[in-house]
């Protein structure tokens, strides 16, 4: 049988092959099939409840859709580009199976509210997966952090050694970022989880419908309250992409650090071989491919955000075909996020930490200079003066190629007579860390406290 367009009665000639290919979305939107069926079944149920659709028709639709679902799942469904998109492919197949009941399914509905519903159902499920994966990654980071609550490493500003921190504290910074990412995803979900169906093409429908019933059947928290807005805006997808871009930006920052830390020049960590590759020419190479790709893929996710927001910006109300372009960026954003989060959790578990290299780097960078300045302030020296005193001590130590902690007390007291034997307790990295014992500080105590809080949050 020749596929016939639902609107063929209006047209005097079929579209050209080129136009058909250009306008069809079935090659990518077939991914929405399960959600399209779910939405159709809820719509049919609602129409039956309000007396628009007979129970016989409803039963036939349910039976036909069950068969179609099985065909799709087993890969036997014959997708046709002549039928443009997932919606018309499924509807046509339904009609070929059950006749007129299939043709009645589209009563009080349009593809405009249908596709908006499908995307929301699909995205809601993806957000739930992403939130779980974000929790897994946080757990991996917390697990590593708990082993390194006391491990000293240099904290950097401007990529110059600044002050000692613990490796655990450093990792917790990323846990904080990912926790906010998860909050953003869950917050975005609230606005995704609203029902467009019932808006029909743009103005609503003349049939008696019960949108709250459909919303309830589909697990939506609410309905979209304006039919024009419901079929046309994709702000929820843009918002999701922005949240997704931030996830990727956070992981890109961590990737950059992993790459630096793994460089033999720094050597703070090693990444398990299964996440790295060698070089085809240089036998000594072990390259951190996975973090490099994450850093690279952050670019494409940010690109999708720009695509989606640009797609929306000049569209008049209500639905325009432009919106068909929302799918590929959104799908690729989700795929990239899910793959990245999965691989990242595993990669974090495969990290070997080299505390000796981290400690050596702290000792080379005058990382406790601020601690010496603070020490003098506590003895009554104004901070600006103590800063100057310590700067001179650092300059001297640098000329001698030693750390300030290694200067003898006789030498140190030449810079200030207030410097006494007890200074060495603050000049060691451990002394520096333990003094920053306040909420949000890097003292091992605080790090352990934060880890416990995060673990409780993730269990809750
Ligand atoms: N494939 C279309 C999309 O993704 C479905 C809606 C088509 N609506 C229309 N009036 N042409 O947006």
Residue 326 Cα: closest atom of ligand 1? 4
- Using the predicted structure, report yes or no on whether residue 1 has a pLDDT greater than 50: no
- Using the predicted structure, report yes or no on whether residue 139 has a pLDDT greater than 70: yes
91 C-alpha to ligand 1 centroid (Å): 14
Q: Which of 74, 158, 280, 417 is catalytic?
A: 158
Domain extent for 75: 15-107
> What is the domain-level CATH number for residue 62?
1.10.275.10
Report which of 442, 299, 260 is spatially closest to residue 368, judged by C-alpha positions. 442
Identify the residue with better confidence: 160 or 281.
160
7 inside domain: no
Is the distance from CB of 432 to CB of 367 less than 8 angstroms?
Answer: yes
193 inside domain: yes
CA atoms within 13 A on the CB side of 63: 12
424 inside domain: yes
| For residue 318, cis peptide bond before it (omega within 30 degrees of 0) | yes
DSSP string, 283-350: TT--B-HHHHHHHHHHHHHHHHHHHHHHHHHTPPSS--GGGGGGHHHHHHHHHHHHHHHHHHHHHHHT
6 inside domain: no
| Structural element, H or E, at residue 271 | strand 269-271
Q: Calculate mean pLDDT across residues 167-182.
A: 98
According to the model, what pLDDT value does residue 2 have? Answer: 47
Point out the domain boundary residue: 107, 137, 172. 107
Report which of 172, 365, 352 is spatially closest to residue 268, judged by C-alpha positions. 352
Whether residue 349 sits in one domain with residue 380: no
214 inside domain: no
Please give the structure tokens belonging to residue 334. 């989700």
Q: Which residues contact residue 308 at a Cβ distance below 8 angstroms, ignoring those fewer than 6 apart?
A: 234, 237, 238, 241, 326, 329, 330
> What is the domain-level CATH number for residue 401?
1.10.40.30
Among 209-218, 228-237, 273-282, 335-344, which is the least confidently predicted range? 273-282
Provide the whole-model pTM. 0.95
Of all protein residues, whose CA lies closest to atom 11 belonging to ligand 1? Answer: 321
Instruction: Measure Cα distances from 83 to 21, 35, 103, 218, 320 in Å.
Output: 11, 18, 15, 26, 19
25 lines ligand 1 (CB under 6 A): yes
69 inside domain: yes
Q: Which residues pair with residue 269 across a beta bridge?
A: 353
112 lines ligand 1 (CB under 6 A): yes
324 lines ligand 1 (CB under 6 A): yes
Three-state DSSP at 157 gives strand
> What is the domain-level CATH number for residue 299?
1.20.200.10
211 inside domain: no
pLDDT tier at 283, thresholds 50, 70, 90: confident
Whether residue 380 sits in one domain with residue 351: no
Three-state DSSP at 208 gives coil
Is the distance from CB of 27 to CB of 81 less than 8 angstroms?
Answer: yes
Please give the structure tokens belonging to residue 365. 């960078």
Determine the longest span between alpha carbons in the chain, in angstroms.
Answer: 101
Handedness of CA 44, 50, 53, 57 (dihedral sign): positive
Whether residue 294 sits in one domain with residue 240: yes
Whether residue 124 sits in one domain with residue 80: no
- Site to substitute for ligand 1 among 31, 35, 115, most atoms within 8 A of C-beta: 115
Q: Which residues contact residue 352 at a Cβ distance below 8 angstroms, ignoring those fewer than 6 apart?
A: 269, 270, 271, 272
Whether residue 290 sits in one domain with residue 194: yes
Q: What is the pLDDT of residues 410-443, one digit of tens each?
A: 999 999 999 999 999 999 999 999 999 999 999 9
Q: Which residues contact residue 127 at a Cβ distance below 8 angstroms, ignoring those fewer than 6 apart?
A: 185, 186, 188, 189, 192, 240
- Site to substitute for ligand 1 among 15, 83, 312, 321, most atoms within 8 A of C-beta: 321
Among 2-16, 17-31, 355-369, which is the least confidently predicted range? 2-16
Whether residue 381 sits in one domain with residue 352: no
53 C-alpha to ligand 1 centroid (Å): 24
Taking the CA atoms of residue 207, residue 213, residue 216 and residue 217 in that order, the dihedral angle to the nearest 10 degrees is -70
106 C-alpha to ligand 1 centroid (Å): 14
Whether residue 158 lies in the annotated active site: yes
According to the model, what pLDDT value does residue 10 have? Answer: 86
Whether residue 257 sits in one domain with residue 164: yes
Q: Give the count of beta carbons closer than 10 Å to the beta carbon of residue 182.
A: 22
- Using the predicted structure, report yes or no on whether residue 168 has a pLDDT greater than 90: yes
Whether residue 69 sits in one domain with residue 167: no
8 inside domain: no
CA distance 229 to 206: 18
Please give the structure tokens belonging to residue 367. 């990382």
Whether residue 259 sits in one domain with residue 245: yes
Residue 319 Cα: closest atom of ligand 1? 10
CA distance 235 to 224: 13
Whether residue 227 lies in the annotated active site: no
237 C-alpha to ligand 1 centroid (Å): 16
Identify the residue whose tokens are 């190629």: 401
Whether residue 269 sits in one domain with residue 418: no
- Using the predicted structure, report yes or no on whether residue 328 has a pLDDT greater than 70: yes
Whether residue 436 sits in one domain with residue 311: no
Whether residue 45 sits in one domain with residue 82: yes
326 lines ligand 1 (CB under 6 A): no
According to the model, what pLDDT value does residue 6 have? Answer: 77
Number of domains in the chain: 3
**Phi and psi, residue 152, nearest 5°:** -80, 135
85 lines ligand 1 (CB under 6 A): yes
According to the model, what pLDDT value does residue 3 have? Answer: 54
| Structural element, H or E, at residue 195 | strand 194-195
Residue 327 Cα: closest atom of ligand 1? 4
Q: Which of 8, 54, 263, 279 is catalytic?
A: 279
Point out the domain boundary residue: 78, 107, 136. 107
Three-state DSSP at 381 gives coil
Task: Give Rg (Cα) of the chain.
Answer: 31
């Amino acid at each position: 049988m020749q596929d016939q367009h639902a609107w063929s009665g209006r047209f005097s000639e079929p579209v050209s092959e080129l136009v058909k290919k250009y306008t069809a979305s079935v090659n990518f939107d077939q991914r929405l099939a399960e959600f399209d069926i779910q939405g159709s079944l809820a719509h049919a149920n609602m129409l039956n409840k309000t007396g628009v659709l007979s129970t016989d028709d409803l039963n036939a639709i349910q039976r036909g859709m069950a068969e179609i679902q099985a065909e799709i799942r087993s890969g036997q469904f014959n997708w046709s580009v002549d039928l443009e998109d997932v919606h018309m492919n499924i509807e046509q197949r339904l009609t070929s199976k059950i006749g007129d009941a299939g043709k009645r399914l589209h009563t009080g509905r349009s593809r405009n509210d249908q596709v908006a519903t499908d995307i929301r159902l699909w995205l809601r499920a993806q957000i739930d997966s992403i939130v779980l994966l974000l929790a897994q990654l946080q757990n991996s980071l917390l697990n590593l952090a708990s082993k390194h609550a006391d491990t000293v490493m240099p904290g950097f500003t401007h990529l110059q050694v600044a002050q000692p921190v613990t490796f655990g504290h450093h990792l917790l910074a990323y846990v904080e970022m990912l926790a906010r990412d998860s909050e953003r995803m869950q917050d975005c979900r609230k606005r995704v989880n609203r029902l467009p169906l019932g808006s029909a093409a743009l103005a609503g429908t003349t049939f008696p419908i019960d949108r709250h019933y459909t919303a309830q059947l589909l697990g939506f928290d609410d309905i979209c309250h304006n039919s024009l807005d419901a079929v046309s805006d994709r702000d929820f997808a843009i918002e999701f992409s922005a949240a997704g871009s931030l996830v990727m930006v956070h992981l890109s920052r961590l990737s950059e650090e992993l790459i630096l830390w793994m460089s033999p020049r720094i050597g703070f960590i090693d990444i398990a071989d299964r996440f790295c590759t060698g070089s085809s020419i240089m036998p000594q190479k072990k390259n951190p491919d996975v973090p490099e790709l994450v850093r690279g893929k952050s670019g494409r996710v940010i690109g999708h955000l720009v695509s989606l927001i640009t797609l929306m910006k000049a569209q008049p109300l209500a639905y325009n075909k432009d919106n068909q372009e929302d799918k590929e960026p959104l799908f690729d954003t989700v795929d990239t996020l899910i793959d990245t989060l999965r691989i990242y959790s595993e990669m974090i578990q495969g990290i070997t930490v080299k505390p000796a290299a981290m400690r050596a780097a702290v000792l080379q960078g005058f990382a406790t200079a601020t601690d010496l300045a603070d020490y003098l302030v506590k003895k009554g020296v104004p901070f600006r003066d103590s800063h100057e005193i310590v700067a001179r001590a650092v300059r001297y130590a640098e000329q001698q190629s030693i750390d300030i902690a290694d200067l003898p007390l006789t030498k140190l007291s030449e810079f200030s007579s207030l410097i006494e034997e007890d200074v060495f307790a603050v000049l060691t990295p451990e002394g520096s860390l333990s003094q920053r014992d306040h909420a949000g500080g890097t003292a091992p105590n605080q790090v352990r406290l934060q880890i416990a809080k995060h673990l409780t949050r993730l269990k809750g």
